[in-house]
Amino acid sequence: MKILITWLGDADIANFNKSNTEPQLHLGPVAQALKELSFEQIHLLTSRPHHVVNGYVSWLKKSYGKSLVHHPIELSDPTEYRRIYLSVTAIIDKVFETSKDQEEINLTFHISPGTPAMQTIWVLLANTRYEATLIQTAREQKGVKIPDIPFEIAAQFIPKVLEPADKKLNLTAGEIPREGAHFGDILYRSKEMARVINYAKKAALRNVPVLIQGDSGTGKELLARAIHSKSPRSERPFIPINCGAIPRELVESELFGHKQGSYTGAHKDRKGVFEEADGGTLFLDELGELPLDAQVKLLRVTQEGTVKRIGTSNEIKVDVRLIAATNRNLSTEVLEGRFREDLFYRLAIAIINIPALKDREGDLDLLLDQLLERVNNELSNDPNASRKIISVSAKKIVMKHDWPGNVRELENTLKRVVLWAEEETISSEEMQRAILPNHQNQNSDDVILNKDLSQPIDLDRIIASVDQHYLNRAMKETGRVKAKAARILGLNSATTLNNRLKKYNILD
């Protein structure tokens, strides 16, 4: 299916207004392209007021576009690169989502109409995120032309395109200290991650517990270490422990320690992690995996500030700052009885939700370049590995993948492809082979609707995951305008939306 996506520019409206009786005598860029080329679907994006564009849109539909779809877009500034980028990608993604056969979609972006910022975004998208043909028209050319814009040139524009918005985000964090070494290790460009980092920096300065929630591979421990490094406790220990990796019978000993001979295998006195972290930070990774009986004892420590080793009656005073992380939503776990409500409220003073990589608009290309450089450097002394660069076609495959394993999956994929690639330039075929199959997305209906009932299923968790998925998407696609998000989701009001956002601790 041939699909044209284009902005409506001033030249189109000006040419239309020159002759209301015979507008075809004064074709603007859009009408000129439609006269010479045929498309099965046309998507016309406008940022001008309705009374300015309605006459032209009606004429264009009547003359050229029986399948024309008009997309009014609110732009406070037609040179605002990030807003233009988000608006355009939301529309294109919707085109793919509603298509019966995505493989048959043949995109064309018309780069002549609109502002230079709009034109630049088309170039970037056609060379990174989507397979698309670029066309341009001009009166002196008297026809449609396909411009030759090398990817290398387009790639150089990316930091410049996003730089103004990044500066704005940094200016809004005036009271937040400059990034230390550990915060500097977190690569991001998106406003979603900028918000996370800003919250984390504020939390770092205060001696309160922090709860970090996010999917596997999003970098929860890295964020926890960054918080510790900027806290008043930075000179004291940072002790990480994975709650999900501790055998159930050893949880209490790992956390609180034991006295020699207190149980079989306790051959000597041992400190628990609370004592080891005294004065510093204890990072409890995968907190949601702790069994309920251990949660009771953890609650006691957070309330009284003392621990008692197994086999003793002595109370040991500890001064520990807790940072916990989980890939579960603890609010949902509390509702379903798998996590203690009192412990949750004790720990959830500063809640930070790290978004999935697919929801971090603009971060993937940055991470790809930086992580590939890191992998190349790590393998520089390996005689069997050589420095690699990524081809345009391979980069497009990376940009289209959902990355369910997030940053960790991306880095591991790059390690595989660097080791496997035969030539200096990584091909699209090599990249495709290096990416692990995404079993979650192979058949989403089966994952949600056709689960095996021979084993118990968690219906509440399934419903909650669907809820969170669409809440996040609606907030993202509407630029976090709650009234619009509520309408998209069929909710009665923004208040109803607010209640759901609070239920799942989704940043608004």
Give the tens place of pLDDT for each residue, 257-273. 888 877 777 778 888 89
User: pLDDT band for position 23 (50/70/90)?
Assistant: very low
Structure tokens at 236: 């004291």
What pLDDT is attached to residue 7? 93
pLDDT value at residue 138: 65
Please give the average per-residue pLDDT across 132-146, as a whole number: 76
The reported pLDDT for the residue numbered 464 is 80
Tell me how far apart the alpha carbons of residues 482 and 478 are, in angstroms, rounded to a whole number: 8
Q: What mean pLDDT is reported for the chain? A: 82
% residues pLDDT > 70 (the chain): 85
**20 Cβ neighbours under 8 A, 6+ residues apart:** none
Top-confidence residue, 178 or 341: 341
214 vs 196, 303, 437, 485, CA distance in Å?
11, 26, 21, 22
CA dihedral 298, 301, 304, 307 (to 10 degrees): 150
Give φ, ψ of 242 to 5 degrees. Answer: -95, 105
Encode 171-180: b = buried (16+ Cβ within 10 Å), e = exposed: eebeebeeee
Mean of pLDDT values over 70-97: 85
Structure tokens at 103: 């493989």
Per-range mean pLDDT, top range of 102-106, 115-119, 228-232, 462-466? 228-232
Name the 3-class secondary structure at 258: strand
Convert the pLDDT of each residue in 414-454 to its tens digit: 998 988 888 899 998 999 989 987 654 444 444 566 665 65
Mean pLDDT of the region 155-178: 43
Q: Cα separation of 469 and 259, whole Å? A: 47
Strand order, beta sheet including 210-213: 238-242, 281-285, 321-326, 210-213, 350-353
pLDDT score at 86: 84
Beta pairing partners, 323: 210, 283
- Considering only CA atoms, which of 238, 213, 211 is closest in space to residue 226? 238
Averaged pLDDT for residues 202-213: 91
Environment class of 259 (CB within 10 Å of its CB; exposed 0-12, middle 13-18, buried 19+): middle
pLDDT at 171 over 60: no
pLDDT at 161 over 70: no
Is the pLDDT reported for residue 220 higher than 50?
A: yes
In this prediction, residue 443 carries a pLDDT of 45
Q: What's the number of CA atoms in the CB half-sphere (13 Å) around residue 476?
A: 25
| Nearest one of 477, 50, 86, 505 to 486, comparing CA atoms | 477
Nearest alpha carbon to residue 225 among 215, 234, 217: 234
Q: What is the pLDDT of residue 20?
A: 56
Provide CB contacts within 8 A for 94, sequence distance 6+.
none
Amino acid identity for residue 145 in this structure:
K
Say yes or no to pLDDT of 89 above 70: yes
Residue 191 has what pLDDT? 87
Residue with the bigger pLDDT between 101 and 233: it is 233
Of 83-97, 354-368, 452-466, give the lowest mean pLDDT range: 452-466
Domains and CATH numbers, the chain: 2-160 (3.40.50.10770), 181-355 (3.40.50.300), 358-441 (1.10.8.60), 445-503 (1.10.10)
For residue 271, list its beta bridge partners.
257
Total length of the chain: 508
Of residues 441 and 42, which shows the higher confidence score? 42
User: What string of DSSP letters covers 15-73?
Assistant: HHHH-SS-GGGS--HHHHHHHHS--SEEEEEE-S-HHHHHHHHHHHHHHT-TTEEEEE-
Cβ–Cβ under 8 Å, residues 49 and 129: no
Give the pLDDT of residue 282: 95
Per the DSSP assignment, residues forming a β-bridge with 227 are: none
Average pLDDT on 144-154 reads 63
Tokens found for residue 399: 């940009």
For residues 453-471, average pLDDT: 77
pLDDT digits (tens, 9 = 90+) for 307-358: 998 888 889 999 999 999 999 888 888 888 889 999 999 998 899 999 999 8
Residue 354: predicted pLDDT:
94
C-alpha span between 340 and 324 (Å, rounded) = 14
Candidates 377, 417, 381; CA nearest to 397 is 417
Contacts of 384 (CB under 8 A, 6+ apart): 419
Q: For residue range 485-505, what is the model confidence (pLDDT) as tens digits? A: 888 898 888 888 888 888 877
pTM listed for this prediction: 0.58
